[in-house]
């Protein structure tokens, strides 16, 4: 048996106590946050890992009745990887993506990320260097929870400034009147500073209301308006982009195939591409997506909100390939650092670097994960 042969795969479902129920809009109730964590092991003891957080997708999508049923979708995939060699990564990736059916995120993407982590660990290099090593670090923006009052948003801005972030993205009430009041108050509060802002509407507005907010934001130090409309409404996005002077981004959770992205970009739907290795097909697909955006003169703003493994996967891609403006960092970050000994934190100037070490560089407490998991799928117990 070759040292690079895959001998074991484990998938853990965890609901960490450190991560409270969260909501990403004011019109939704707080939802339980689940973590899916993948652990790959080879005959030579090389390991690779990946993971992401999940929220109410199990209630919103008929194909999964609950988080356990989603975790079960890994079972046939990981069984099929046993005996495969890391040197066959391209063939393995192609095979995984042929079977891909789900998005936001999907099992195939997470397995492909774990493959890359193991390959880079075996090479003794940080993953971003294998991907091209375009830069060593990148500025970060703080990504907010949803607050109930304008004063709470202003308090959050003050916290972000104290911590040293150069920019902040607001998850809002998604009530047009409240949102306008809030962004106006924030703009006044930061008028004499260099702080930049973004607004994420989580696909909750209609076209007319998005135009109103977009025109207001165009007069502020705002880098972009994110996900104002349903991601699949390419016609409306194209019209919105023409109607306002602020950059328009999609959410990046449903239009995730390269052909669909290409079609939307060629229509002029977005000012910047938004996606995530955890839902586009893994590291390789994210690199291709960034190269696609670059070829059309667009930046790519990768999603890095979430679990340390998904944060790191996105960070390595944005460091490996030129084209991203910021690293998205959830704040309070402590809520998203379950089982991680070396979480990503900003430096004094508001920038971040990849965790030290080979691969993704994330050091996990596997003993804690084993103890806390409410479901484990293990190739040794199939």
The CATH number assigned to the domain holding 333 equals 3.20.20.120
Backbone angles phi, psi at 58, to 5 degrees: -70, -25
pLDDT given at position 58? 39
Instruction: Give pTM, 2 decimals.
Output: 0.95
Q: Which whole-number Å values give the CA distances from 44 to 2, 110, 161, 264, 355, in the listed order?
A: 8, 22, 47, 44, 24
Express each pLDDT in 201-231 by its tens digit: 999 999 999 999 999 999 999 999 999 999 9
Please determine, for residue 2, whether its predicted confidence score (pLDDT) is greater than 90: yes
Share the mean pLDDT of the chain.
93
Whether 19 is covered by a domain: the verdict is yes
pLDDT given at position 1? 73
Please determine, for residue 274, whether its predicted confidence score (pLDDT) is greater than 80: yes
Domain of 62 in residue numbering reads as 6-124+365-381
Residues 221, 344 share a domain: yes
Residues 83, 206 share a domain: no
Residues 246, 195 share a domain: yes
How would DSSP label each residue in 220-258?
Answer: TTEEEEE--S-TT-HHHHHHHHHH-SS-EE--SSS--SH
Q: What is the CATH number of the domain that holds 40?
A: 3.30.390.10
Residues 292, 259 share a domain: yes
Please determine, for residue 285, whether its predicted confidence score (pLDDT) is greater than 70: yes
Whether 219 is covered by a domain: the verdict is yes
Residues 142, 112 share a domain: no
Please determine, for residue 233, whether its predicted confidence score (pLDDT) is greater than 50: yes
Residues 173, 114 share a domain: no
d(C-alpha 358, C-alpha 118), whole Å: 9
Q: What secondary structure letter does DSSP report for 317?
A: H
d(C-alpha 118, C-alpha 124), whole Å: 10
pLDDT given at position 70? 85
Whether 232 is covered by a domain: the verdict is yes
**Direct distance between the N- and C-terminal alpha carbons of the chain, in angstroms, rounded to an integer:** 21
Residues 173, 96 share a domain: no
SS3 382: coil
Residues 214, 191 share a domain: yes
Residues 263, 117 share a domain: no
Please determine, for residue 56, whether its predicted confidence score (pLDDT) is greater than 90: no
pLDDT given at position 66? 77
Whether 54 is covered by a domain: the verdict is yes
**Count of domains observed in the chain:** 2
Whether 358 is covered by a domain: the verdict is no
């Amino acid at each position: 048996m070759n040292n690079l042969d895959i001998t074991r795969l484990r998938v853990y479902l965890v609901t960490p106590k450190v991560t409270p129920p969260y909501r990403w809009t004011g019109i939704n109730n707080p939802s339980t946050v689940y973590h899916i964590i993948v652990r790959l092991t080879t005959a030579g003891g090389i390991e690779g890992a990946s993971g992401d957080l999940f929220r109410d997708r199990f209630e919103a999508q008929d194909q999964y009745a609950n988080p356990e049923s989603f975790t079960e979708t890994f079972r046939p995939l990981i069984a099929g990887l046993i005996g495969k060699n890391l040197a066959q990564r391209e063939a393995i990736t192609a095979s995984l993506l042929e079977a891909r059916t789900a998005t936001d995120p999907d099992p195939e993407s997470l397995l492909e990320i774990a493959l890359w982590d193991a390959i880079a660990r075996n090479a003794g290099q940080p993953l971003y260097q294998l991907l091209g090593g375009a830069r060593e670090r990148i500025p970060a923006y703080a990504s907010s929870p949803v607050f109930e009052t304008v004063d709470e948003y202003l308090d959050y801005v003050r916290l972000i400034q104290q911590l040293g972030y150069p920019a902040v993205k607001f998850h809002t009430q998604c009530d047009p009147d409240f949102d306008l009041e809030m962004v106006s108050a924030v703009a006044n509060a930061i008028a004499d500073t260099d702080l930049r802002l973004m607004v994420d509407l989580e696909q909750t507005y209609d076209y007319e209301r998005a135009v109103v907010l977009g025109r207001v934001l165009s007069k502020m130090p705002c880098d972009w308006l994110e996900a104002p409309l349903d991601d699949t409404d390419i016609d409306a996005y194209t019209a919105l982009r023409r109607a306002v002077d602020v950059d328009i981004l999609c959410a990046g959770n449903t239009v995730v195939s390269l052909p669909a992205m290409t079609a939307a970009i060629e229509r002029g739907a977005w000012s910047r591409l938004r996606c995530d290795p955890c839902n586009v097909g893994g590291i390789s697909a994210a690199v291709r997506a960034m190269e696609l955006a670059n070829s059309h003169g667009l930046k790519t703003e990768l999603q890095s909100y979430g679990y340390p493994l998904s944060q790191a996967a996105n960070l390595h891609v944005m460091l490996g390939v030129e084209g991203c403006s910021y690293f998205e960092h959830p704040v309070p970050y402590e809520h998203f650092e379950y089982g991680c000994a070396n979480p990503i934190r900003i430096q004094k100037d508001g920038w971040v670097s990849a965790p030290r070490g080979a691969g993704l560089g994330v050091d996990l407490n596997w003993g804690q994960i084993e103890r806390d998991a409410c479901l484990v799928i293990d190739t040794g117990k199939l």
